[in-house]
Amino acid sequence: MAEDEAQRPEQAVNEAKRQEIAYQLYQNRQLLSKPGDVQQDWETAGQILRSPIRSLLFKLHGLFIGVERRAWEPILHWANNQAWLSLLSVVGNVGPIIAATSYVCSEKLRRDAEVFTAW
């Protein structure tokens, strides 16, 4: 009986962790519009809790998602609002055209010089 009382708080902690993980899985599933149900999230949360490797991977995944939200997304949002980046892409597309035109013109000048020296 004393063992049951000692295990109850531990079970409550495990159930709380499982519920938290299942809720995170649910939010991720809703965000990505993936099919699934509550039972599947609950079973996956149990698998994550039972496996130390899955627990580690789940925590690392959450860490990377947090870094992405705090660092990468603001940078991308800022870059999308910058008009000079679109101008830079236009200049980048004009570069090969200028190079090809200068090559054709220099070839014409080279041929003209060959013809002139041949006379």
- Per-residue model confidence as pLDDT tens digits over 1-46: 455 555 677 777 788 888 998 898 888 888 888 888 889 989 999 9
The CA distances from residue 105 to 93, 96, 116, 117, in Å, are 20, 14, 17, 18
Q: What is the rounded distance in angstroms from the CA atom of residue 52 to the CA atom of residue 48?
A: 7
- Tokens for 78, please give them: 């800022």
Contacts of 54 (CB under 8 A, 6+ apart): 47, 48
pTM over 0.85: no
